Amino acid sequence: MASEVFDRLADRYDEWFDSARGAALFAAEVECLRRLMPEDRPGWVEVGVGSGRFAEALKVPEGVDPSLPLLEKAAARGMKTVRAVAEELPYGDGELEGILLVVTLCFLDDPEAALREFARVLRPGGLLLVGFVPADSAWGREYLREGGEGQPFYSVARFYTCSEALDMTGAAGFRFLKAASTLPMGPEQELGEPPVLDGIVPGCGFTAMMFTREPAGPDAGKKPSPVASQ
């Protein structure tokens, strides 16, 4: 299980965000997610909250994670924390307003079961915001390579393309609303201040997608065309 790696290397995981590269990537990903998030976020929970970095930056008050060492760090950042796995959340049917899932899809033991669980605990019209590294981007390929060479976190990750993410969420009963992308440069290039582009932009190293749990309509499951701000 991926959680065992995070239990063992919680300090290493959290300290990465304070490195120059980690801080730059984190800032770009937060801005991408912020582009899609509603202003008011009561009733939101981050699943896979880790050490609470994203939840704190995006003002999500509660987080779920199976790793106790990481939850302790999230609690120290002011999060209300719950120890649980994504596939079995300790919430009632329709209890939540929104779920944030950031760079967690690739670490889920059973992503399809987790997405069905998200649909259960979200109210009708509730929102699911997923941020991830597409497998077919230069960043995804680099992380796959590093995982194959023994990098402890990426070695237990399974990366997905945007099409695969859309298929999984659609099968779980979610309807796509909008997307944003960032990191159009490759991992070997200078980051600078990466732009946030509207839509699903092929090649970008981070994509955020917003979904709703509303009943499926005639366009449910339809894959959007990539749209980018110029």
- Left, alpha or beta for 160 (phi > 0: left; psi -120 to 50: alpha)? beta
Specify if 154 maps to a domain. yes
223 assigned to some structural domain: no
Going by DSSP bridges, is the β-strand pair 175-182/197-198 parallel, antiparallel, or unpaired?
antiparallel
Q: pLDDT tier at 1 (50, 70, 90 boundaries)?
A: low
Q: For the domain that residue 121 is a member of, what is the CATH number? A: 3.40.50.150
Is 220 within a domain?
no
The rounded distance, in Å, linking the Cα atoms of 140 and 134 is 6
Q: Indicate the helix (H) or strand (E) that contains 194.
A: none
**More confidently predicted of 24 and 230:** 24
* Count of the separate structural domains present in the chain: 1
Tell me if 156 is assigned to some domain: yes
Expressed as residue numbers, the domain containing 172 is 2-212
Average pLDDT, the chain: 92
Question: Does 61 reside within a domain?
Answer: yes
- Say if residue 217's pLDDT is above 80: no
Mean pLDDT of 207-211: 98
**Section 33-41 average pLDDT:** 93
Residue 225 in domain: no
Inside any domain, residue 192 = yes
Q: Looking at the domain assignment, is residue 226 inside a domain?
A: no
Instruction: Write the pLDDT tens digit of every residue in 46-105.
Output: 999 999 999 999 999 999 999 999 999 999 999 999 999 999 999 999 999 999 999 999
